Amino acid sequence: MYKDEESILFVVNPRSASGRTLQRWKNTEKMLLNAQVRGYRTAYTSKSGEATHITSKAIKGGYQHIVAVGGDGTINEVLNGFYENGQKIAESSYFSFLSTGTGSDFQRMFPDHDFIGAVLSIIRRERIIHCDTVRAIYSSWAKNRECRYYINTADLGIGAETCMRVNQNTKHLGGFLTFLSAAIRTIIAHQNFQAEVLVDGIKVFSGLTPEIVAANGRFFGGGIMIAPEAEIGDGLLDVVIIEDISKGKFLLNMPAAYRGDHIRQSCVKMYQGQRVDITCSKPVPLETDGENPGTSNTSFEILPGNILLAF
């Protein structure tokens, strides 16, 4: 038995990746049984938001290590279970993830290795880093001010609207094509919005924009390298603002965005800071780690090294 193996909980979203995650996890459990890995526990979610409650209860009950198994949304839900009333429930708890969803954008920040190898590495805690997280304050769909945490990216505009389309429809095309087709439909229907952006209290932008991103990680939207210089342990948010451009120009620049080359365009502005405040002239959909919890106005604050990430 590996050290502290008995305190590990895998939180599995069986509906992730159109149900493929469930079969993948069942195969994994067979492997763990054959390898005589025992003592861990598995909890399955049955509805949206449940992973957060499962995680919170588990940490309060003494589990030291929680592993999210599913897509970026599952990762986000589990992450939020580490916090309560603006504070971490247990400072020494470990967070891990096994990305099996449609986008798998946070996974792109890490070296590729096989799924079974990743499971064993996580159980052994072979690599542990202090990873930044981000506290987001926003307006819920019920127009209440709420707080939520994320680990990868948040955005207002086309990216968030694309995410809503993806979450409301089938994902049978796979990550790249699902997000690409949704993005094209979103761009055609989208109207740029008026926004003011402050980074560490300094106004850096005021005007029309199709997209504003506050990134901890580099990727979103099924593989778009939106913030190519972002690091998850540097204590800084990378802010990407696209100035007022036509739909045609936005579409033409999409291939460059997958490579991270869009930042060379004069219409793309980049900033770094610890806090970002965004005020919009009208409610604009928000996305955090593939979830759509509400709308602007928003503030984002980096929490340096706030989570122990084992991978």
- In angstroms, rounded to a whole number, what is the distance separating the alpha carbons of residues 231 and 237? 9
> pTM value?
0.93
The reply to whether 106 and 158 lie within a common domain is no
Domain boundary pick from 126, 152, 167:
126
Q: Tens place of pLDDT for every residue, the chain, 311 residues?
A: 344 456 899 999 999 988 889 999 999 999 999 988 887 999 999 999 999 999 999 999 999 999 999 999 999 999 999 999 999 999 999 999 999 877 789 999 997 768 888 999 999 999 999 999 999 999 999 999 999 999 999 999 999 999 999 878 766 666 678 888 888 899 998 999 999 999 999 999 999 999 999 999 999 988 999 999 999 999 999 999 999 999 999 999 999 999 999 999 999 999 999 999 999 999 999 999 999 999 999 999 999 999 999 99
User: Do 21 and 14 touch, CB atoms closer than 8 A?
Assistant: yes
pLDDT attached to residue 175: 64
Q: Is 30 left (phi over 0), alpha (psi -120 to 50) or beta?
A: alpha
φ, ψ dihedrals at 283, nearest 5°: -60, 130
Residue 38: predicted pLDDT: 82
> Which of 78, 105, 126 is a domain's end point?
126
> Other C-beta atoms within 10 Å of 64: how many?
17
Helix/strand/coil for 285: strand
- Distance between CA atoms of 217 and 259, rounded to whole angstroms? 15
| Cβ-based burial of 270 (10 A; exposed 0-12, middle 13-18, buried ≥19) | middle
Paired sense of beta strands 128-140 and 291-310, if any: antiparallel
Three-state secondary structure call for residue 84? strand
Per-residue pLDDT at 6: 60
Q: Say yes or no: 150 and 276 in one domain.
A: yes
Same-domain check for residues 43 and 149: no
Instruction: Print the domain residue range for 92.
Output: 5-126
- Per the structure, the count of domains in the chain is 2
Per this entry, what is the length of the chain? 311
Last residue of a domain, one of 126, 144, 160: 126
Residues 305/233, Cβ–Cβ less than 8 Å: yes
- On whether both 147 and 71 belong to a single domain, the answer is no
DSSP 46: -
Q: What local confidence, expressed as pLDDT, does residue 1 receive?
A: 37
Is 109 within a domain? yes
The verdict on residue 310 lying in a domain is no
Strand partners, 137: 147, 299
Q: What is the CATH number of the domain that holds 87?
A: 3.40.50.10330
